[in-house]
Structure 1
Amino acid sequence: MDEQNKNLFLATALSFVVILVWFVLFPPPEQPPEDPNAPVAVEGQPPVATGDVAAAPTAAPGTAPAQPDAEADTKDAPRVALSTDRLEGSISLVGGRIDDLRLKDYRVTIEEDSEIVQFLSPVGSENPYYALYGWAPGAGLQFDDVPGANTEWRVETGETLGLNAPVILRWDSPTGLIFRRSIAIDENYMFSVTQSVENPGQDTVSLAPYGILARHGEPQDLKNFFILHEGALQMTDGILEMTDYSDMPDLDVDSGERAPALTQQVTEGGWVGFTDHYWMSVLIPQQGSGFSSVIKYEPNRDIYQSRAMMPTITLAAGQTQQVTTQLFAGAKEWETIRAYEKSGIDGFINSIDWGWFSFLTKPIFTALHWLNAAIGNMGWAIIGLTLLIKAILFPLAYKSYVSMAKMKELQPEMEKIKERAGDDREKLQKEMMALYKKEKVNPASGCLPILLQIPIFFSLYKVIFVTLELRHAAWLGPFNDLSAPDPTSIFNLFGIFPWAGPEAGSILALVFIGILPLLLGISMWLQQKLNPAPTDPTQQMIFAWMPWVFMFMLGGFASGLVVYWIANNTITFTQQYLIMRSQGFKPDILGNIKASFKKAEKPETK
């Protein structure tokens, strides 16, 4: 039994250490940078212009071009209203930017009167974040001949952008080119932006359409937690590249004169944008066509950018051409994103950060989502998921608990062997192994279910922390946000009184823990009472402290994760108790508890 407990403890501790060290020391390999000036090769078309279109706004017609960093304040610019069942906001006529967007279905906090989430904001506000579109000039054109970031558009069609109610903007260039921008939106978060150009003149011209997402500074609510990706996303022909905000200033560049940038050449399908914890903005050029995907950082302005640069088009006299780009701007809802992927957006479901254990996190979330839809409560869905996982692992658990029951029966014989061997460790090991062989018992068999539980635990932690569906998800009583730590403590009498407990992460929150961490510690402690205490004093001390260490350690974790662990411990305890009784062994739980209290009161002396 001494050897069994040692193996159990070592397996658990080492598994945690290995997984954590692996995440820190061996991040996913970075893709080699490509030449940011490399053109997109498309048969029958000239290469794209290589100018820095991401920072090349134009001035109004009749004036000199604006400098790259002279971006207009659009907070008070003339606007077109935007309203759907799920979104509200406006589009600036300066630059034709989508720069004011609020998510009606989501509030900043769980309070009913809390403000709805402001997702995109114009230049001049506290945290500018917006999408803009334009054209890079090619042969026969200058920058003031094409619309850019500061171009003043006029409304040609439409008053309010809404479902089945697109808006068309128009701008006439000094050279006579006519530019239109048609903006439509679906019932969720997908915009369709069609840029067209008409050439009524006599000369052939070349120009390249582009879309840009720009964010001034890092997000205010940046988590900076290793388990979550926050920053740029680039899907390039089935390969997803993720770059954190903190890593974008260090991107490789082709020369010291250019801003840090990383370019991927897309040939078949892809998208580029930014993702936060729960929200995302992504530019999606037409799938099946090539484009240049760029992420970059402007250090002098502290602006993060992602850019989709489409191939140059050649426009003969009298011709009109158009390019349509989609823009996803909204919440990372699993069902919504999956529907967009099914409609043809390659790998879009991977915009949710499933992590390295995606082979576990994806099915775990799918099961959790299905259970939540069936039950109507995410807390009970987590408990239902726990039951499902335990049912799947039951064959292994059964073998483990049968072996542990046999080990309990052999404990008197093992004590006799220990007395005979004395301090002779070699003799002790030989006689123990002989006993195991004779009784056909494997002392290490109890480790396998625990080893399987570790990746499942990490995967569920990832799911609960990352997915939007757990945000502000209520369970019962005071537990109205399963993505947040337990809100109860002795200060509010474990949720009976309406006031809040200590702030999560504070010293008081660690000392005066909530009811869920307390139940976790008790469930682990009771589970231990089904097993005999190890004979080694050091191991006895470690095992005695383990439930209470975990209790305080998980006190600041998402309450949904603690609910899972409590349910897991309770089901494990029940399974083990019933299986051990079926093998003829009746665990004396009360006796073990009384013995542990007596031992705590009167420590053994030699």
Structure 2
Amino acid sequence: MDDQNKNLILACVLSFVVIIVWAVFFPPPEQPVPSETDQTVEQGVQTPVAEAPTGADQPASVGDQATAAASDANIERIEIDTPELSGSISLLGGRIDQLALKGYRETIDPDSDIVRLLSPVNSNDPYYALYGWAPLSGVEPDAVPGPNTVWTQVSDNPLTISTPVVLQWDNGQGLTFQRQISIDDKFMFSIDQSVTNTSDSAVSLAPYGIIARHGEPDTIGFFILHEGVVRMTDGTFDRIKYNDMPDIEFNARERAQADVAQVEENGWIAFTGKNWMTAMIPPQGDRFKSVAKYDPVREIYQLETVLPSQTIEAGAQTTVTTRLFAGAKEWEAIRSYQNDGGIPSFIDSIDWGWFFFLTKPIFWMLHELNLLIGNMGWAIIGLTLIIKALLFPLAYRSYVSMAKMKELQPEMEKLKESAGEDRQKLQKGMIELYKTHNVNPAAGCLPILLQIPIFFSLYKVIFVTIELRHAPWFGWIRDLSAPDPSSILNLFGLFPWDTPDPTSIFFIFSLGILPIILGVSMWLQQKLNPAPTDATQAMIFAWMPWVFMFMLGTFASGLIIYWIANNLITFIQQYLIMRSQGVKPDIFGNIKSSFKKRPKPDAK
């Protein structure tokens, strides 16, 4: 077995093993099915039992405000209507608890429901944001607005990008609370909370924000994807998965299972999934407390931000402004909030993974190409051309080395005959031969090995970025983030029967058109070289394209498009470089010989 074939088999087997491990441990995710039950989840919200930031003039703790939330079935609502969002705000607690994303649907069917992000407490899966004031001194707990306070709308208008809404509540004891909610043209709310003190004594209050989810959230449960809490604390990034929150240690000062972080200057905290996120962003530059909390009794997942206490003197007023992001994790929008809105590291709410140094530039290039071309499928092919161009110097040296190896084949055969069974003599002779002709037998492995992290990085980009979700290419490929929907089992739609469900193990046999083209492209690339004379090598090479075809058949269409384009470009590059080195690949002869009967691997 010559070293050239050894190296090529080693690289292919390594790639194959990685693909198998990936497929076993990272199977295609099951698509979540929206619940259709009418079960009402227990109402209520865990309000903060929070510690105020430590300070000379600040108390150590804020009192308990836990109360039973009333049903908001008969409470008035304020409509939310923007280019991106629709929903409403309940006057019960001033909760932002109905929100849907106009630009996104549950499936590629244009008549399917738009994506629902937030839901009220009387729905199947309550998920909402609310704000309030925790009493510190000079005021009783029932004299501040909480989760069950019924607010009054000051102006009778919906919430739009040009018309904020103003809520008001008077405690009848000299304190008037007002909340102005505004929104931009994307997904960012601004909440201005103010208190006017007309009493004859000072009061101290701590403003807080809450995002609460009742019941265990629906998750994809994919190993490479983070779903749960993501938090930035003074430059430190922290993640807690939903299924890890019940294991948070009991915090005696919080009187709950709580993970507490004191933010000194900059930070934010969010619930995040694959495509959607809700995040609280307190004023940057100020201290606040960031809490991820789990209530095992009511099974409530909760985030809290508690700002420093505010002392409002008699006859004075104070206002605190915070922000709430609730929407799609669009790269451009999130980057704008980070760069122009002053939210540090907000772009990292997108799960770029371990290969972030590759996934970030790969996505940036895809995004720019998509803006230029107007189609993500062609952008992927354009990205492939750019990657191949960047790797061309290395590929050139590799293919030149492989061509020289071909030229040395007769001399290597003579060397094998003269060495006989003396393996040491054969190895020494081959090393001298390589050195004399300046050939590196390992050069053929490098381009293949470099493709592995690029392949995984592109897989990550296609999976986690919302820009690839439901992105069409042409014809039957209407979602580049999903597998090829065509199937050889029904002859690509000519027969009326259904194909196996993507979650079924039999789905691997439901090959689409793209995976078949992938297998053919790999097979064609092999035919640049004659089949190995060794029967074992020949068998491995013969099966390799078709095994890869089945293994990659369930991957996202965008990834298959990349691999096909990569194979075709590699074929052209290798063919031209081999011709430039005086080696004329007999492609048709190699194809013809591949159909001849071969001896079994164990034949003598």
Normalization by structure 1: what TM-score? 0.90
Q: State which of 540, 543, 548 in structure 2 corresponds to 1:542.
A: 540
Please tell me whether residue 40 in structure 1 is matched to residue 56 in structure 2: no
**Structure 1 residues 135-174: aligned runs within 5 Å:** 135-174=133-172
Question: Matched residues in 2 for 1:219 and 1:582: separation?
Answer: 59
Moved over 6 A (4+): 15-21, 496-500, 601-604
Post-superposition offset of 1:193? 0.6
Question: Matched residues in 2 for 1:531 and 1:501: separation?
Answer: 37
Aligned residue pair count: 578
Please tell me whether residue 49 in structure 1 is matched to residue 47 in structure 2: no
Q: State which of 210, 234, 243 in structure 1 corresponds to 2:208.
A: 210
CA contact (8 A) 1:101 1:121 kept: yes
Question: Matched residues in 2 for 1:498 and 1:322: separation?
Answer: 64
Post-superposition offset of 1:534? 4.3
CA contact (8 A) 2:535 2:601 kept: no
| Identity within the alignment, % | 63
Q: Which runs of 5+ in 1 are unaligned?
A: 25-35, 58-65
Q: Assess, with a 3 A threshold, how the Cα gap between structure 1 residues 79 and 540 changes in structure 2: closer, same or farther.
A: same
**What amino acid is aligned across from residue 428 of structure 2 in structure 1?**
K
CA contact (8 A) 1:386 1:564 kept: yes
Please tell me whether residue 287 in structure 1 is matched to residue 279 in structure 2: no
Post-superposition offset of 1:164? 1.4
**Structure 1 residues 21-420: aligned runs within 5 Å:** 39-41=52-54, 45-47=57-59, 49-51=61-63, 56-57=65-66, 66=67, 70-74=68-72, 76-220=74-218, 222-255=219-252, 258-343=255-340, 344-420=342-418
Question: Matched residues in 1 for 2:498 and 2:86: separation?
Answer: 32
Aligned residue in 2 for 1:582: 580
Q: State which of 470, 485, 506 in structure 2 corresponds to 1:472.
A: 470
**What amino acid is aligned across from residue 127 of structure 2 in structure 1?**
Y
**What amino acid is aligned across from residue 227 of structure 2 in structure 1?**
E
Q: Assess, with a 3 A threshold, how the Cα gap between structure 1 residues 158 and 256 changes in structure 2: closer, same or farther.
A: closer
Q: State which of 446, 450, 459 in structure 2 corresponds to 1:448.
A: 446
Normalization by structure 2: what TM-score? 0.90
Q: Which runs of 5+ in 2 are unaligned?
A: 26-48
Q: Assess, with a 3 A threshold, how the Cα gap between structure 1 residues 38 and 125 changes in structure 2: closer, same or farther.
A: closer
Please tell me whether residue 2 in structure 1 is matched to residue 2 in structure 2: yes
Question: Matched residues in 2 for 1:259 and 1:368: separation?
Answer: 44
Aligned residue for 1:308, secondary structure, equals strand
**What amino acid is aligned across from residue 46 of structure 1 in structure 2?**
Q
CA contact (8 A) 2:52 2:206 kept: no
**What amino acid is aligned across from residue 475 of structure 1 in structure 2?**
W
**What amino acid is aligned across from residue 330 of structure 2 in structure 1?**
E
CA contact (8 A) 1:171 1:179 kept: yes
Question: Matched residues in 1 for 2:566 and 2:386: separation?
Answer: 10
CA contact (8 A) 1:292 1:309 kept: yes
Aligned residue for 2:458, secondary structure, equals helix
CA RMSD across the alignment: 2.4
Deviation digits for residues 5-54 of structure 1 (CA, Å, limit 9, x no counterpart):
33344355557878979xx9xxxxxxxxxxx9764246x752563446xx
Post-superposition offset of 1:204? 1.5
CA contact (8 A) 2:88 2:97 kept: yes
Post-superposition offset of 1:503? 2.2
Post-superposition offset of 1:539? 3.8
Aligned residue for 1:130, secondary structure, equals strand
Comparing 119-128 and 76-85, the one that deviates more: 76-85
Aligned residue in 2 for 1:32: none
Question: Matched residues in 2 for 1:204 and 1:532: separation?
Answer: 90
**Structure 1 residues 417-432: aligned runs within 5 Å:** 417-432=415-430
Post-superposition offset of 1:558? 0.7
Post-superposition offset of 1:438? 1.6
CA contact (8 A) 1:49 1:208 kept: no
Q: Assess, with a 3 A threshold, how the Cα gap between structure 1 residues 544 and 271 changes in structure 2: closer, same or farther.
A: same
CA contact (8 A) 2:370 2:376 kept: yes
Q: State which of 508, 525, 529 in structure 1 corresponds to 2:523.
A: 525
**What amino acid is aligned across from residue 526 of structure 2 in structure 1?**
Q
Aligned residue for 1:598, secondary structure, equals coil
Question: Matched residues in 2 for 1:501 and 1:87: separation?
Answer: 36
